[in-house]
Amino acid sequence: MKELLVAKNIGFCFGVKRTIEETEKLLEKFSSLSTIGDIVHNPIIIEKLKSKGLNVYNSIKELKGKYFLIRSHGLSKKEIEKIKKLGFEIFDLTCPLVKRIHNLVENLNEKGYYIIIIGNKNHPEVLGIKGYGKKINIIEKKRDFLNIKDKKMEKVAVIGQTTLNFNYFLDFVNDIINRVNANEFLVINTICKVTEEREKEGIEIAKKSDAVFVLGGKKSSNTKKLFNICKKFCANTFHIEKISDLSKINLDKFKKIGIVSGTSTPHFFINEVIEYIKKF
């Protein structure tokens, strides 16, 4: 008999749930909203919102309409000012945790800290955070230390992208302390607790399972990290973005199947996957 191990921490996190619910309310009111980039990294949700009137653009130059939505990843101060000057009414749906990091960076900047962000250089969240300070360096790989290791600095503050794995963050922090010459170090854990909890639960499920299905968008940073972590403990780990991905997998050979998800994965999709597996 097959067994399904479904994570307790699954589906939308608070920030994503809030963003989607507020977007739907605004679309009911205005019928058309503009945004730059996907408001959450899940194609199922984005297509659903587009059908209701959400217009997704790649840059400020392309923007059309009257109403603009700041997505959950946030935007830099300069970008927001540019959009205001174009005459848009702006609705800010930045994740509350990311918003707190914006305020934190502004505060650190005023106190004269050189700020190091550990994270993906091209991720919209990181790019938005960078826009709230002046002396900022993003470190994604160990070789990025070459830009700063020989500089003598007074005060250095280290923060991380919210979706980082905590051990990965600590590893980089140790390297920074050993390589960067500074009189004062301030390390602030800005990793989302929800992401951390999901990774811990994902490891436990992966250890017990013959196969693990990680549900979520292929562009979702936290889902990709969850997939890589589960893969270390269960070789048969699969990243499932849409229901058709399951048709490529031979479910007959697995007795225990674990199900986990990223923070932007809708519950209706999770239920759809569970029902599909139950047929076997």
Angstrom distance (rounded) from CA 213 to CA 208: 13
Q: What is the DSSP letter of 8?
A: S
Q: Which of 60, 77, 72 is nearest to 124 (CA)?
A: 72
Closest CA to 35 of 74, 1, 9, 3: 74
Give CA–CA dist 192/97, Å, rounded. 7
Torsion on CA atoms 83, 85, 86, 87, rounded to nearest 10: 100
Our answer to whether residue 125 is catalytic in this structure is: yes
- Given 106, 125, 140, 241, the catalytic residue: 125
- The rounded distance, in Å, linking the Cα atoms of 219 and 38 is 10
Rg (CA), the chain: 21
Name the strand (E) or helix (H) holding 118. Answer: strand 114-118
Three-state secondary structure of 14-81: HHHHHHHHHHHHHHHHHCCEEEECCCCCCHHHHHHHHHCCEEEECCHHHCCCCEEEECCCCCCHHHHH
Crossing angle of the two packed helices 193-208 and 221-233, in degrees rounded to 10: 30
Q: What is the DSSP secondary structure assignment for residue 95, as one 8-state letter?
A: -
Residues designated catalytic: 125
